[in-house]
Every structure is written in structure tokens, then in C-alpha cells.
Structure 1
Amino acid sequence: MSKDILSVIQSNMATFSKGQKLIANFILESYDKAAFMTASKLGKTVKVSESTVVRFAAELGYDGYPAMQKALQEMIRSKLTTIQRIEVSNDRIGDHDILSMVMQSDVEKIHMTMDEMNREEFSQSVDAIVNARHIYILGVRSAAALASFLGFYFNLIFEQVTIVHTTSISEVFEQLLRIGPGDVIIGISFPRYSRRTVTAMQFAHDRGATAIALTDSETSPLVQYSTHRLLAKSDMASFVDSLVAPLSLINALIVSIGRKKNEDLSKTFADLERIWDEYEVYEKVEASH
């Protein structure tokens, strides 16, 4: 269903039963909370049965409640404010054990990412990176940590790697000035999506570079400017971004590329071992004088 779910609910309001209207009104008024409720919790909140909630989803044309819930989540993916994230997170956790809930949620996101990952897209992304003339990596805000982590290991494997550091879009253009065919840009962004990252992806795409989006959904604004997309689940409801699944995906990417560049990687570490040995000898000599 491509039409905005809220518009569908509003246009069909007159046809709903009394119980369905209670569900509809709650979703229209508190869609940010409803999107993360189970069918059972939504039913209890508006004082209808769980089966009524399930039938409501079917009435809207969805194949079950999870499909309707996903539609709500996709609609608000980039719209939640930090205050709304805090409120939704508090509602979801309630009186439960925070440690267990947060860690279990991260485990589930890794499983979902693994199950839904397009293996062909992953392999094509690996090949594009291995054959790239120059690799650019961009991530801002919380995604900057992922970009830095990826860049650290890529600098051990490749000679031409640029981690795009930016506080403004003009700095992005300055660092991407020479990007073009044969180059690869990896844009990393999760809700709320970074406009700078989206603009950089668009610029690189327009210049003929291979653009790889590392993001959370096909509806992410990065996807429209990407050659390949690597999708990892994140938790946009919490005010703290859950980036465990994206980091796990990055680890898999590094390992896959390392295997293809095994000879170069072995040489790099051999050189590093030699340098470390020389440095340790120098320290001992210096200490003896």
C-alpha cells in the first residue's frame, strides 16, 4: 500500500465499527506511539480486543497487523523528534529490565538484518570497493563513529581512502571535488537522516561514482542516489541510536574485503610488524642513554 496510512484511515473513518474507530482515532492522534505497540498493547490501550486490532489492519488492506505496523514505522522513520523518541522509548520500556530489553532488541535487529540482507547486493558492494580507484566514506552525527571505524580498517587495506570530515556542506564538496567514475562513496546514515550525507551521495552519483548506501530502509533518502544499498536495522524510537546491526554489517564487509585483498593485507601487517619492532628497539636504545 503506497498511500499514506493516515490518509487511508481518515478517508475510511465512516465505514469503521465503534471499536475500529477507537483504534483509528488513537493512531491519528498518537501514531508515533502506535507504530511501536504490539497488537495486544494497542488493543489494551484503546480498550478493544487484540482480534479487533488485527481485523482493523485487514480492513485497511494489510496482510496482518505487522504489515500495518511496518507501514506506520516507515511513514514516521525520519519524522520523530528527540522528545518523541524519549517518550516512545519510555512507553516501550515501562517497568521492564532496561538492560535485558535493550540488549535483546539489539540481538533481534542483528537477526533481522541477517535474514533480510540481499546477498547479491552485498557481494556487488564488496567487488565495487575492491576495484575502486579511490574510496570516500561519509557519516555524520552518530554515524561518524561508524565511518571512522570503517575508515580505520580500510586504510590498512587500501592506499586511497578518504574519510570525509565535515561541519558544513561546502566542506563536503571541497573533499569530493575530484570524485568521479571508478571511485566509490560509502554514505552512512540512519534516522534522523543527515541532509549533508544525502547531498554528498547525490553529488557523487551525478559525477559518475559508485554510491553505496549503508542505511536502514529502502525508503531512506540515500537509496535514490545509490548504486548499491546495504540495509541494517536500527532503532529510531530510542533517543540513543542503536547501531549494533550496522556495525555488525560493517564487520562483515571488512572481513569479506580482507579475504579478497589477503595478499595486500598480509604485506601491510608484515610492514607494520617490522616498524613496531624497529620502534621498540629504538625505545630500548634511547632508554639506555
Structure 2
Amino acid sequence: MKRAAAVPTPAPAGATAPESLSEYIQARFDDFSRSQKDVAQYIVDHLDEVAFQTAEELARRANTSSSTVVRFSQALGFEGYPELQQSAREEYRRSHAAPATAGLGSGEPLFALDRNEFETSLAADHANIEETARRVSRSEVEQAIDQIAGAQKLIVAGTDQMAFFASYMRHLLMLLDLRAEVVASPSQEALSRLSRIDDQTLVIALSAGRPHPLVVRAMKLARHRKARTMAIVDATLSDVAKLANTTLYYSSDSPAYVRSHTALLSLIQALAYGVYSRDAEGYEDRIKAYRLK
């Protein structure tokens, strides 16, 4: 039997068909298995890459197996991964159909077409910052800055690779004389910090890909104790994001063997600068006093 051409994203009987593959995946997200959710998160947030990746490449980026990618495609109603990829390409083409606007300057392109590995990595970071700026709204940023500036206590939760960024965020907030603590491992000290969460606390969760159980636990405890919660994530369908009052997304695409955190670092610094700008003169005195300690 001849295989039919790739068709628009399937929809359940009697339901209105979603406009795109991304929307259909988000509508079905809770029905997927844990490993399939990893694939779903990656596709939604990295559609431009999925449109041109093999199943093996996608599986590696989503920290799963190629067979899971194929089963995920079939769970959506496609015959296999090539049909899902065709749908991703069609959505990508539609989203880039509008002509690019002028005004980007008449100089030479920032990166040549025949990039080496170094230039390819820099180009990806450049694109990550652009994508992050597009995805984060001004209202979300203002809400996040308000929460940080007005919090009596702050806990920044981030494990493994996120532990560095949690510590750096704490450092920036401590310079502004804000009480901030870090939860980076399931140590007795870290757990005691979580035990002190109350309704005057703001818990900020940093997550890349599938969130660590400790970070999810911190967010659930914060919600239970009526504390405010904020998530800074690279997956819009992250379990951490679902537990947050405010969510800020950053793009982490990378041609390398690890995620890019350039946009995350920029986002953290921009938030701290936003808090500083609320009372620049007052904070400047505090920063000078901190440096003299």
C-alpha cells in the first residue's frame, strides 16, 4: 500500500484540529510517558533544529533513545519519525514565511556561511540570546523583578550544572543586600533551608531539560506553604514551570555536547540589574559597603 503524503498534525475525533505540531504536542503532553515528555519538550522548544535532525540526533539532544522518538511519533498518529519531521518542517516554514525586515545594517554578516566549530558555537549563543529576548515578555520580567525586590527571603534552587548559576544569582542578589540562600544538593544543610520556607519566601528554580527531583520538591513545598515561586527554564513544558507563579524561558540550543547557558547567564544578570535599577543610588552604597568587607 502506498504511503500517504505527510498530513497536518492529527487531532482527536470531534476536536478542532490544532494549527501546528507544537500546539498538538502541548495539548497531548500529559498523556505521554516520562521519556516521551523529554522528546515533547525538546520538539516544542527547538522546532528549527528538529526540522533537520535525524531521529538519532533528536534522541541524543533529548537524552533518550531513537526508539522512544519513533514511538513518540507513532503516539501522535504519524507512521514514523519522517512524517513527524515533515510536519515540523512545514510549521518551521510557515513561521519563517514573512520577509525579514530591513535595518540590520549593511555591513558584513556576523558569521560566514563556512563556519568552523568555534564560530558555529558562537552563532548558536547569539541566536539563543535573540530567541530568549523574543520569548520573554516585558510583563513577565516586571513581575519577576517585583517578586525579587519585594521578597523577605529568597531561595535559589539548582542542582548539578545549575548549581553554578544558582550560586552566581545568589551572589548578585547579596550585592544588593537581599537575603538569598542556595539549595544545590540534598545535604542536611540544604534540606534545613527548605524547611524554613514560609509565605514570605520567594523560591527561584533553575532547570535545564528534565528538572532534578530536589528542585521539584522545593517548588512543591513552596506551593504548599503559600510561598511565591519562580521558574527559569529552557523547556516551556517543564514540571517546574507548572509549579511556578512566574516563568521565564531561556533558549539553550547548542551544536556542542552540552547545552548552552549563555542566555541563562544573561537572563540572571538582567534580572539583577532590573532590581538594581529600582533604587540605583541606594543599591550603589550597599555594593560599595559589601566590597569593603
- The question of whether the paired residues in 2 share the 8 Å contact of 1:189 and 1:215 is answered with yes
**Equivalent of residue 284 in structure 2, options 255, 259, 266:** 266
Alignment of 1:118 with 2:137, yes or no, is yes
What is the identity, as a one-letter code, of the residue corresponding to 1:105? A
Alignment of 1:64 with 2:90, yes or no, is yes
**Once structures 1 and 2 are overlaid, which stretch shifts more, 137-146 or 26-35?**
26-35
Distance 2:91 2:61 in 1: 12
**Equivalent of residue 104 in structure 1, options 120, 123, 131:** 123
| 28 and 163 in structure 1: CA distance in 2 versus 1, 3 angstrom threshold | closer
How far the C-alpha of 1:251 sits from its partner, in A, is 1.2
What is the identity, as a one-letter code, of the residue corresponding to 2:267? L
**Equivalent of residue 136 in structure 1, options 150, 155, 178:** 155
**Equivalent of residue 232 in structure 1, options 250, 253, 273:** 250
| 33 and 184 in structure 1: CA distance in 2 versus 1, 3 angstrom threshold | closer
TM superposition score normalised by structure 2: 0.62
How far the C-alpha of 1:197 sits from its partner, in A, is 1.1
Alignment of 1:242 with 2:269, yes or no, is no
- Deviation per residue, 1:10-39 (Å, 9 max, x gap): xxxxxxxxxxxxxxxx9777752799xxxx
| 119 and 150 in structure 1: CA distance in 2 versus 1, 3 angstrom threshold | same
What is the identity, as a one-letter code, of the residue corresponding to 2:270? A
How far the C-alpha of 1:65 sits from its partner, in A, is 4.3
Which ranges in structure 1 are unaligned for 5 or more consecutive residues?
8-25, 36-54, 69-94, 277-289
Over 6 Å off, 4+ runs: 4-7, 26-30
| 120 and 6 in structure 1: CA distance in 2 versus 1, 3 angstrom threshold | closer
| 227 and 264 in structure 1: CA distance in 2 versus 1, 3 angstrom threshold | same
- Deviation per residue, 1:177-215 (Å, 9 max, x gap): 121112101111102432211211111121111111011
Distance 1:194 1:206 in 2: 19
- The question of whether the paired residues in 2 share the 8 Å contact of 1:121 and 1:229 is answered with yes
- The question of whether the paired residues in 1 share the 8 Å contact of 2:160 and 2:184 is answered with no
How far the C-alpha of 1:263 sits from its partner, in A, is 3.7
Question: In structure 2, what is the equivalent of residue 150 of structure 1?
Answer: 169
- Deviation per residue, 1:252-287 (Å, 9 max, x gap): 1011000113243122134246x47xxxxxxxxxxx
How far the C-alpha of 1:148 sits from its partner, in A, is 1.3
* % identical aligned pairs: 23
How far the C-alpha of 1:170 sits from its partner, in A, is 5.5
Distance 2:178 2:260 in 1: 31
TM superposition score normalised by structure 1: 0.63
When Rg is computed on C-alpha atoms for both structures, the one with the higher figure is 1
| 201 and 239 in structure 1: CA distance in 2 versus 1, 3 angstrom threshold | farther
- The question of whether the paired residues in 1 share the 8 Å contact of 2:231 and 2:244 is answered with yes
Distance 2:93 2:225 in 1: 38
| 28 and 248 in structure 1: CA distance in 2 versus 1, 3 angstrom threshold | closer
Question: In structure 2, what is the equivalent of residue 92 of structure 1?
Answer: none
Distance 1:6 1:226 in 2: 21
Which ranges in structure 2 are unaligned for 5 or more consecutive residues?
1-23, 34-52, 63-81, 95-113
SS at match of 1:242: coil
Distance 1:244 1:222 in 2: 21
Distance 1:268 1:208 in 2: 30
| 180 and 241 in structure 1: CA distance in 2 versus 1, 3 angstrom threshold | same
Question: In structure 1, what is the equivalent of residue 231 of structure 2?
Answer: 213
Question: In structure 2, what is the equivalent of residue 201 of structure 1?
Answer: 219
| 59 and 266 in structure 1: CA distance in 2 versus 1, 3 angstrom threshold | closer
- The question of whether the paired residues in 2 share the 8 Å contact of 1:142 and 1:241 is answered with no
| 236 and 225 in structure 1: CA distance in 2 versus 1, 3 angstrom threshold | farther
How far the C-alpha of 1:235 sits from its partner, in A, is 2.8
Distance 1:123 1:229 in 2: 12
**Equivalent of residue 252 in structure 1, options 270, 277, 281:** 270
Question: In structure 1, what is the equivalent of residue 181 of structure 2?
Answer: 162
Distance 1:96 1:258 in 2: 39
SS at match of 1:222: helix
What is the identity, as a one-letter code, of the residue corresponding to 1:137? V
